[in-house]
Structure 1
Amino acid sequence: MRYDLLVKGGRLIDPQSGVDARRDIAVADGRIAAIESDIPTDRARDVIDAAGRIVTPGLIDLHSHVYWGGTSLGVDADRLAARSGTTTFIDAGSAGAGNFLGFRRHVMERSKVRILAYVNISFAGIFGFAETLMVGECSDLRLCDPREAVACVDEHRDVVVGMKVRAGKHASGTSGIAPVDLAVEAADHVGLPLMAHIDEPPPGRSEVLPRLRRGDVLTHCFRPFPNAPVFASGAVRPDMHLARERGVIFDIGHGMGSFDFDVARSMLKEGLAPDVISSDVHLYCVDGPAFDILVCMSKLMALGMSLTEVIRAATETPARAIARPELGTLAVGGAADITMIEERVAPISFYDARGAELVAERRLVSHGIVAGGKWWPNEAVDKTDDLAHYVPAERRTHVHVAARHFGRCC
């Protein structure tokens, strides 16, 4: 058999299948055609040299905002994909029932990479997110109609992975816990999981967590005070242990203001590593501090997680969270979604949502992706020793202004 593409000589790390070895991967007609220790190069039309690189299943960013052009916080998934090693973006509630069709027609269906989505319980989706204002979509309960949300899910089930609710002082104002209760009921009705965002109380984490069921996702699980999952002493709060035992999925959802190095250290110390590493990438954190999923994975490695663990948290576990077992792994006959990365050794400073610095000795850098069976190189791979290259000079000032205003929100 002649192949369209051959990824040759890389170290394949696929946590779901348990493989960590040198393997060649052949692609034909957009599917994985063979995974073997040595496939001759003359059997493929195009060959990608992966020697010295790490090859993984295509990364899945469980929490992103990619309704580009349709919402004020959306980023262009195609522009970010190769740089971040991401082949599947899960949009976390940018669109609600009132604008989901536009998201699907104008963004999802035109994207080169896969985009799936959570439907926001708010009919309007996230509409009031900007540098100088923050109007939470759940602050007006008239917008939180579970019947509209359920109808939207039923119409778009092939691309919908669950319901999304954003609760907290910024996202839901004085609505309290009501948006969460409405979203849980809607998620139960359609038989899908719920992703729950928390920012500053009220409502507090202690009100939201007991309502989450097995398979539901708590995003921003390592957020800073207030609403942190740890006491001032550093001990993890009991409700977090209970939620883990109950099967609630912990997702970091880094974003602009939701990841704290000290909180992460405390959680990891007590064995509560995140199930999922996601970026919560949007317009106001794509230039820092989150940047993309590989930067977030690199931060967790610097805090003590292993290479295999961070790859698992960006492949196997998010695929399981969205009930898409065909994603997040590489298997003959499966989708040809592949990420090629390098573990680059060189000191680099990372920053969390509070501005705290963490000096790391290594980081993960994308060399490109195979999406839909086609090779897509990261053209900026030689510039990634300095994270500042991601930030256009004209944007640096107002990005940091936005962070000062709303840095604890998302």
Structure 2
Amino acid sequence: MRDQDPSPVDTDRRLSTKETAELLGVKPETVYAYVSRGLLSSRRAAGGRGSTFDAEEVEALARRNRRESSGGAGGPGGELSVRTRLTLIDTDRYYFRGVDAVELAGRHTYEEVAEWLWTGRLRPGASFTAPEASVAVARRAAAALPEHTTPTDRLRVAAIAAATADPLRFDLSEDAVLGTARTLIPTLVAALPPVRLDHRDTGPLAHRLWARLTGRQADEAHLRVLDTALALLVDHDLAASTLAVRVAASARAHAYAAVSAGLGVLEGPLHGAASGLAHKLLLEVLDQGGAAPVIADELRAGRRIPGLGHRLYAGEDPRARALFSLLEEIPHAAPALAAARDVVATTARHTPLHANVDLALAVLTASCGMPATAGETIFAVARTAGWIAHALEEYGERPLRMRPSGQYVGPKPPRPLPEQDTSGVRSQP
């Protein structure tokens, strides 16, 4: 028998916060999250004590939530579709809360762009500071890892270690999660071992991260490229790692755990690690003196060319275009930039693919003496802000809604219990 919808509410009256929360099956603070996201409207109650909500509007939202519950968070054609106010990708451009992301990253720091994504407000001069206790425990945990550990491994361990130093991590209110965001990101950077011994963990985040990526001295042009790269990579709709974060947040995992879920998915070669493959490709092109023999070997081996093409952009990735423009202002980036363009032009003879952000990150990392893993590190630090923005959105939704149903294709039940396999068991004397 199908579940029956609850009795309709009396639409001639307004509901209290408690009544609204009960009807929607959420906590009172989630009701106010709905208001802040424009899903519900509120009015101050008589006497100014609390808020009231339009009963018909609440019932409409409850019906929509029930539809999602029965059918999953599905979209047209059965594809996963999740409502979000964060990022829109449209015709080779993308927008953060309706604002052109490339223009935003070109005029504001990574910290300011992160604040915009989280709150819809700009905080000029925004700065993130990590508590000493959080940094200490994260560094100890990361330092205990084997020497060959990747930076993403260190970041994931540092995130969990930092969580243990935060007894309030289970507070999922917006203010608490934003507080976590502003301390977790600099904690992750501080947990990475510095390459430059004269580094200082002060100033903009890009300055602190630079010392973890290369031993070369940075000028303003270099730091601007790194800071812009961080800002451009803050979010990119429902990438695989972001979906993992939303699944964790749907189960009400705290922000540290949600970020750890994102970091786990990021390590895949088709996601965050793609820039490392592009980095190695560029070094080989520089070593060979041209892209043709390198591309030929890749195609002969049946491998896709890293750093090219993006399923969401028919033309050039706007993030790559923005970074290439800045890299043109750095003289010693010219060889790697020329190698990247040679890769694009050579591959175009076979298939018309455009550069993506992984190739632009590879130009930055290869030209600045950074290791192949540096692009993934930049990506992970940058995207942490976006993951937390998505976690915040998901905390305002119905719990455990990210629960698709499996389509069973195994043997038809019921089947008899299996017999014990004794073929590999030696007889006893």
- Structure 2 length as normaliser, TM-score? 0.24
- Structure 1 length as normaliser, TM-score? 0.25
Which is higher, the Rg of structure 1 or of structure 2? 2
Structure with greater proportional strand content = 1
